[in-house]
Chains A and B, each alone.
Chain A
């Protein structure tokens, strides 16, 4: 860390970034006011929270450009215990979040091709290929991604994350911590918790070594507690969609998920979800729905098809179909209840190992059925994601359980979360329309 980089970073963080954000927010607010009362069919009125979201994400990615060399930087997977890193002052980069952003901005395909040209197989996860492509070409829609001092991967989301981060470790020549969460069958075992807690201590040691700082236990409790509150606040936002009509679609939630993934454990994340909650609560009290004519309610399973969110949300909304819940958005809220501030390590071990992707199919089926009940869903769309094998495996069994055992109409949509070459819009549209026609 050099003093000049630290000064530059402090200037960016405290002066330039807030100025940029304020200017952008002013422009966005003006544009929002102009559109606010205009019809937005087939959707309901626009949400002001979107402006706040843009501010948050802009500040995060903009200050990140200047982070390396000034503060320690860690690249971590979405399921990694980020709260452990917060007391050390790391700037956190989530390559998955960045890859999703690339997909939304239609930049992922070219980055994937770049990685494939370097020899990475097209069957690999498109998030990994987008990340490799971005690292190797230096191209990114956010200007610049800071180089890491530490890499942390966690096996609770998939095994690809392991090989992916090994490639990054070789490329950047920085330490990698592999956080291993045993797969949970049933309710899990206490010795699994012991095993995970031991790894928390190892990771803390590694953070101390990389940053040269000692762990501040109070800071750890603060960020862990805050992370849990962020998850609970996110859960409360999602729960508002139990109302009829739902004030938000799951496609909106896919966009609003950014802070809970990238800024968990920070106060700005919590205040954002409080703002979003209040705005949605106001919609609920006035009976305003996210789509104009909510006739049927659906559940979404798996990651979004980032590059097709707009097309899909419009097609469904035009037919009066609203996605009101999803296993994906729920994943950042579902385990928050495990947290106990009096036993941070053991409760966090449960919180991180008991997420949907790290549990058996029966648990996933029970969860989907519960969500369908709680949110009064008429049907479900299971996105069979070519890139995400752990999420997609078992979906035909799930469809059977939902459809035949519980009479919930189910469709499997074959696509990919990031690579548009693995999705045929024409066939996708046909399936979607035909699925909607079966409700008539």
Chain B
């Protein structure tokens, strides 16, 4: 198959890589947990995509994500903001507000009808409001993302937890469990706190008419629903939600090659 470029998103939790065809469609993809040696991992994943698609060593590569500077054979390196903006605009084909819930940070990106990033907001130096927050809490409760939505539907919303700190939230949960509070109420409280935190990040850029979601957090259907409800706007998950950054990087590599 003909491959235009490869994009790699070296995130804090997972590394994603895609190979795209000249139309920008994803022809091959790969995702795995981030290893300590990002350089070797990135090299291996890129090689894997090359052999899967039969593309040559001269296929242009772009990198993004926290480990982007560790990707040795990347021709162009761009920030996650630009990569997600580009990937999301390609997928949605219109102006949009993107909410990306990643492992290390949550990002809200406002993309104009031209496809350019107009403005963005990110969580501050704190795990609350990031994918890591939900990961820690759900791990403590031994719950997977697929179990969340039905639990939120069942919950009455009778308890709440602090949304200021992952560590404090975890100890609050221990107290709630000790008091015999049903697990679905705790799951609801955690997600409501999260939605409030990310919701205020969205509001920093002004209330949107709708939000689109990407990143690992978008796999949590319950969170997507609750965030939309909290903001009173429709919330849609982008196709290839976890690969939006890698796609944006690949599109950048392709346009660089084409001199666009």
Contacts and interface: CB of A to CB of B under 8 A. Distances in A.
Given A437-B78, A438-B82, 17 more contacts: A400-B206, A404-B206, A412-B121, A423-B125, A426-B66, A427-B105, A427-B122, A430-B66, A430-B81, A430-B122, A433-B79, A434-B80, A434-B82, A437-B81, A437-B117, A438-B118, A438-B120
B204 to A, nearest CB: 6
A431 B118 contact: no
B116 A427 contact: no
Nearest to A400: B206
Shortest Cβ-Cβ A-B pairs, 4 listed: A434-B81, A434-B79, A437-B82, A424-B125
Contacts of B121: 412
A431 B122 contact: yes
B125 A403 contact: no
Is the interface on chain B under 10, 10 to 19, 20 to 34, or 35 or more residues? 10 to 19
A437 B105 CA distance: 19
B81 to A, nearest CB: 4
23 contacts: A409-B119, A412-B121, A414-B125, A422-B125, A423-B125, A424-B125, A426-B66, A427-B122, A427-B125, A430-B66, A430-B79, A430-B122, A431-B122, A434-B79, A434-B81, A434-B82, A437-B78, A437-B82, A437-B117, A438-B117, A438-B118, A438-B119, A438-B120
Interface in B102-153: 105, 116-122, 124-125
A185 interface: no
Interface in A360-416: 396, 400, 403-404, 409, 412, 414
A430 B79 CA distance: 6
Main secondary structure, interface of A, reads helix
Contact of B124 (A414, A434, A437, A438): A414
A437 B125 contact: no
Contacts of A404: 206
Contacts of A426: 66
Interface of B: 66, 78-82, 105, 116-122, 124-125, 204, 206
A44 B204 CA distance: 37
Contacts of A438: 81-82, 116-120
A68 to B, nearest CB: 40
Contacts, number: 40
A426 B66 CA distance: 8
A396 B79 contact: no
Contact of A396 (B80, B119, B204): B204
Interface of A: 396, 400, 403-404, 409, 412, 414, 422-424, 426-427, 430-431, 433-434, 437-438
Contacts of B82: 434, 437-438
Contacts of B116: 438
Contacts of A427: 105, 122, 125
Contacts of B81: 430, 434, 437-438
Q: Which of A404, A423, A433, A434 counts the most chain B CB atoms within 10 A?
A: A434
A433 B79 CA distance: 7
Contacts of A412: 121
A396 B121 CA distance: 11
Q: Which of A396, A422, A430 counts the most chain B CB atoms within 10 A?
A: A430
Contacts of A423: 125
B215 to A, nearest CB: 15
A434 B120 contact: yes
A437 B83 CA distance: 10
A410 B70 CA distance: 29
B66 to A, nearest CB: 7
Nearest to A396: B204
A403 B66 CA distance: 27
A49 B238 CA distance: 55
A145 B125 CA distance: 35
Contacts of A424: 125
A423 B82 CA distance: 23
A412 B205 CA distance: 12
Nearest to A432: B79
Nearest to B109: A434
A430 B118 contact: no
A424 to B, nearest CB: 4
A105 B136 CA distance: 38
A427 B129 CA distance: 15
A3 B250 CA distance: 77
B10 to A, nearest CB: 13
A422 B79 CA distance: 22
A17 B142 CA distance: 69
Contact of B80 (A400, A403, A430): A430
Contacts of B118: 438
B214 to A, nearest CB: 16
A410 to B, nearest CB: 8
A308 to B, nearest CB: 14
A350 B118 CA distance: 41
A154 to B, nearest CB: 31
Contacts of A433: 79
Contacts of B79: 430, 433-434, 437
B258 to A, nearest CB: 17
A438 to B, nearest CB: 5
Contacts of B122: 427, 430-431
Contacts of B80: 430, 434
Given A426-B66, A430-B79, A437-B82, A403 B119 contact: yes
A434 B116 CA distance: 12
Nearest to A415: B125
Contacts of A396: 204
A424 B124 CA distance: 9
A393 to B, nearest CB: 15
A399 to B, nearest CB: 8
Nearest to B125: A424
B194 to A, nearest CB: 19
A426 B125 CA distance: 10
Nearest to B122: A431
Q: Which of A396, A422, A426, A427 counts the most chain B CB atoms within 10 A?
A: A427
A388 to B, nearest CB: 16
A301 to B, nearest CB: 16
